[in-house]
A and B are shown apart, each in its own frame.
Chain A
Amino acid sequence: MRCNYCEWRCELAGGDFGVCRMYIEDGGAIKERFPHSWSSCIPSRIESIPFYHVWPGSRSLVIGTCGCNFSCRYCSNGFVAKEDPGLVFDGMITLTPAELVRKARQMGCHNIVFNVNEPAMSFPTLVELAEVAGGAGIPMGCLTNAYTTEESTELLASIFSFFNVGLKGLSAGFNREYLGIPSAGPVLRNIRRLAATAHVEITTPVIELANDNELDEIARFIADVDPEIPWHVFRLLPEHEMKEARYPDIDAIDRALRSARKLLPYVYFHNFVGSDWVNTICPGCGATVIERFSLGCGGDRLHSFNCDGTVCPDCRREIRLHGVKVAWNAGEVRP
């Protein structure tokens, strides 16, 4: 029996777990090996995930499971995403959807964001969670590589209302060598699909001499889908199999983004301490409408939110925002 959650469409006959090792065939159905088991359940600033245009300033509960369907040579979460799930499982926590939503409330979180690994590795659990979270008025978003099948991309769109999609490279050679997948085709298709009905931001980690020559082409693709999609260009820290690689040159990448900035109003370049490219500039008048501070590696934070609701205070142009500013402690529930 085939698993149709992601583009690998693995055959799970005879007790195989497939590429991600997270599903198994059981009684004629594809089932999760580790339902409701979480590798992460921790409050975080939404900017640090990163979402720059979603409820700025809000506190998110960051959740994750384990398992991944890519084999990125530079994976920074390899200790969860790339470990055999059977081994990581020992360190995981088990929470039902109702318990998890309760923890989100207890820690004053405004929304829940799936991060760390791929949501496609835990579809049935996430469907259940979305139902309970939706009932409690807690929105859900995720980071994803969008390597899902067409049918399960619909499932993603039904679970989450905001996405940050990793678009790591376009050429088949790069996708094969660095990510371990045959092509970026399904990812591009799914970005179009998700952007049609949900809030989408895109993240591209830059690897010098591997995908830095594709930045213009990626920018053109995004502009064609929707030029207002915020684009996060990441300075990649060499991790996992690439630990020995050199650190990418910040000024060189900044220069390489010049033409992209003409096509897209919301281009951000970060993932290193003190980045100068994390503020939102009004595309209408050039005013700084949202200021942020970057500590690199999951340390970004809102510095000041200057919009008037969702518009520029100076020229009244609409700024792409999925939700307005939320006070950091707005979700606190005191007994």
Chain B
Amino acid sequence: MSLAIIDAREWQNVFDLRTGAKIVEESPLLGMVREVQARRPYPGDMDSSGNRWVSDTALDLMNRYDPSFVFLTYAQQFFSGRYSIQTEKEWGDAITDLYREVERFINLSGFTPVIVGTGDMTPFVDFIDVTQLKGLVLATHWSARYAGLHEPSSGDLKYLDAHSGIERIVHRDDFLRLFAESSGDRSRVPEYLLVAKEGYMFRTVGGAFRRVRRVPAQSFFIPVATEMGEVSTITGIRGLIDSGIGKRKIALIMVEGIGLRDFPWASQRCDNGREWFYHEPGDGQYLTISTGRHQLFDYPTGYKYFEEDAEKKEFPFSGYFRSVPEDTLAERYDVRSISVGNRSMFMHMATGTDISIECFARNLFNQGTMAVIHRMNKI
């Protein structure tokens, strides 16, 4: 059983990750993780010390658990770039701060880093208004490029075809064909995938209305900084890390909102998709890196996520995840592993590490932190 420990500030509870049932359990490992959480309250998505929290929490946990593999995500610049940073100078400063923070972690830990940029950000240009369509358009608000279109009328398709912000409209069959090897329940994939040009975002019913300043930029390639070997594709990062595990201590470090343009380390260029498709920062990209296979159809863009939100849904702390994904990066490692991140709540699902600690934030509201312990048998 995987345990979820929620720290809601001065108040902790332990749950069964799958059922959400409260659990009364004590063990030295559990106690250690609870203490780390109590010592490291999350400062908030928009707080300037959000990235420092990632390093400090990871180092604290590493001191006590002695892992050989660490999976980190630094996302504070992604949130502030998205919602508040307005000038190029401020954005440059945010990248400098990120660089210093990651270097500080590498120096203090002594781990061999593999640093991956998830893609650049670009100023928001305009909305593609799809609220007036007869059909239903759904998108996660983190996505700029993609939206799912359900039950369109011919008028809808005409309108979209003529819209200057639309790059292409892809029929589900063509999307499925492009990633024929990708697993997942294909029935969830919407009839059409709408693809926006760079800088555009879909204005859907159901949008969140914090004013967005920057959105994910066109990222057919992403940067990877590593001295462990050559890598040319997003699905190759997994093999690179697998080959080093057991030989040295490795830190896979994801830096959100940074791509080839802004990446402050010497890097190799990795493809980040296929033909017209590239991954935007988010759980699909993480799962692709983690499993070494493109993961697109388990929770496809624009599917009717709300239909599966019924009572007694399993994994209540894990957003729309219905199960723990299989064959993730650290799942089969014999060595100890941890992950820490401030992007959102999919680290514990996407990394496969023994222990993860992530911020528990909903729409930027800071609810505290969540730790997940997937296994206790390595101490």
Contacts and interface: CB of A to CB of B under 8 A. Distances in A.
B11 A250 contact: yes
B312 A303 contact: yes
Contact of B131 (A39, A43, A95): A95
A298 B306 CA distance: 14
Given A41-B205, A107-B136, A293 B309 contact: no
A296 B8 contact: yes
A73 interface: no
A301 B206 CA distance: 19
Contacts of B362: 295-299
A91 B207 CA distance: 9
B100 interface: no
A293 B370 CA distance: 16
A260 interface: no
A180 B368 CA distance: 29
Interface in B1-46: 6, 8-11, 13, 15, 20, 22, 44
Contact of A95 (B151, B205, B304): B205
Interface string B80-95: 0000000000000000
Interface in B294-341: 304, 306-307, 309-313, 316-317
Contacts, number: 114
A216 B9 CA distance: 25
B343 interface: no
Contacts of A95: 131, 205
B232 interface: no
B360 A273 contact: yes
Contacts of B313: 301
Contact of B209 (A43, A80, A251, A299): A80
A303 B311 contact: yes
Nearest to A45: B309
A88 B212 CA distance: 11
B211 interface: yes
A295 B203 contact: no
A335 interface: yes
A107 B304 CA distance: 8
Contacts of B210: 79
B112 interface: no
Contacts of A87: 211
B182 interface: no
Contact of A93 (B205, B211, B365, B370): B205
Given A42-B206, A76-B365, A301-B316, A249 B311 contact: no
A51 to B, nearest CB: 15
Given A79-B209, A93-B205, A273 B310 contact: no
Contacts of B44: 243
B366 interface: yes
A40 B208 CA distance: 7
Nearest to B368: A273
Contacts of A243: 44
Contact of A273 (B8, B131, B132, B206): B8
A272 B136 contact: no
A169 interface: no
Contacts of A80: 209
28 contacts: A40-B209, A41-B205, A42-B205, A42-B206, A91-B207, A92-B209, A93-B203, A94-B131, A95-B131, A107-B136, A107-B206, A108-B306, A108-B307, A239-B365, A243-B44, A249-B10, A250-B8, A272-B8, A273-B8, A273-B360, A273-B367, A274-B8, A274-B22, A295-B316, A297-B362, A298-B362, A304-B312, A328-B309
